[in-house]
Structure 1
Amino acid sequence: MSRFRKLSQSIWHCQYHIVWVPKYRYKVLQGAIAVEVENCIRAFSEQQKCEVIELNVQIDHVHLLVMVPPKVSISDYVGTLKGRTAIRVFNRFRKLKEKPYWGNRFWTRGYCVDTVGLDAEMIQKYVKYQQKKEQVAEQRDLFNR
């Protein structure tokens, strides 16, 4: 199978590594909230005909490796993901809205995006095993205290 995808008048391979964080980088992406965020990202990506290659929801940030068709603007795609997941999370977990610091935003305003070229496999492994590395580091820190 070719790494390229086809549209009616083009073939493409547009893969992106995207990272974004909750407002104030609060550690709220765990348990049911993390599951909801992951489900939303997958559902909204599918609606926009984007293919999630790897997704890792960490306690204070999200890593996403995704194929985005050239007809979809990356800023529109990320804006849709962040906006719609925020609405869903705030509607499902109303306790979060009780804190005055959230305002109407769940995510920070910005995000990090990088195009993936020949290093796709390396980046996919990095995204997949990021959580494992952080857990080992946290355990080491706890042991050294």
Structure 2
Amino acid sequence: MKILSSSHAKHCLGYQIIFCPKYRNQVLEGAIEVELKRILGETCQTYGWTLHAIEIMPDHVHVFVQADHTTAPVEIAKTMKSISAVHIFSTFKDLKKRRFWGSGLWSDGTFYSSVGGASEEAVNQYIATQKQRG
């Protein structure tokens, strides 16, 4: 990950985000997988996020994304899930009828993990030795 700069901040914030289709339906394969990768990549590009890695399993999505320090990880996930659901349902019209009647594509739950350049131990050590270093 690169250190990014804005007018008053430097930041290096990456997130691992995992989300699943409702009912853990195994529908994210074949043409849906290809289209989902494309739309998530385009969404990141549109919002100025860097998509470092993406893997789509039949019943869940893993993304590693880097964003500006003013963007919360929950905002990233909500945007990705919302845009992709609309696009997938409009492209694959029978999917909603077969598996997702009366509901959205994605489950409410999402896993978030920060990805950084320093370990917890290194950060604790750095903070603990601040006064010693002057």
- Identify the TM-score tier after normalising by the shorter chain: 0.7 to 0.9
Per the alignment, residue 108 of structure 2 pairs with 109
Which structure's residues are more often strand, by fraction? 2
Amino acid at match of 2:22: K
Larger Rg: 2
| Structure 2 residue aligned with 1:31 | 30
Quote the residue 1:47 is aligned against: 46
1:29 is paired with a residue of what secondary structure?
coil
Map 1:76-91 onto structure 2 (within 5 A). Answer: 76-91=75-90
Kept after mapping to 2: 8 A contact 1:23/1:102: no
Aligned residue in 2 for 1:70: 69
Give the unaligned 5+ runs of structure 2.
120-134
**1:12 is aligned with what amino acid?**
H
Paired residue secondary structure (2:112): strand
- Following superposition, the deviation at residue 100 of structure 1 comes to 6.3
Runs of 4+ with deviation above 4 angstroms: none
Aligned 8 A contact 2:25 2:99 in 1 = no
Question: In 1, distance between residues paired with 2:73 and 2:51?
Answer: 14
- Aligned-pair identity in percent equals 27
In the alignment, which residue of structure 2 is the partner of 1:61?
60
Q: Distance in 2 between matches of 1:104 and 1:87?
A: 12
Q: Which residue pairs with 1:129 in the alignment?
A: none
Give the number of equivalent residue pairs.
Answer: 119
CA distance in 2, matches of 1:66, 1:108: 20
Q: Distance in 1 between matches of 2:66 and 2:92?
A: 30
**Deviation at residue 101 of structure 1 after TM alignment:** 4.1
Aligned CA-pair RMSD: 1.8
Q: Which moved more, 1:46-55 or 1:91-100?
A: 91-100
Question: 1:27-82: per-residue Cα shift (whole Å, max 9, x none)?
Answer: 10001101111111111111111000011011111010110111222211110100
* 1:92-144 deviation digits (Å, cap 9, x = unpaired): 00011213644231010110000012379xxxxxxxxxxxxxxxxxxxxxxxx
Maintained 8 Å contact 1:55/1:65: yes
Structure 1 gap ranges (5+): 121-145
TM-score (norm 1): 0.76
For 1:92 and 1:115, the matched residues in 2 are separated by 32
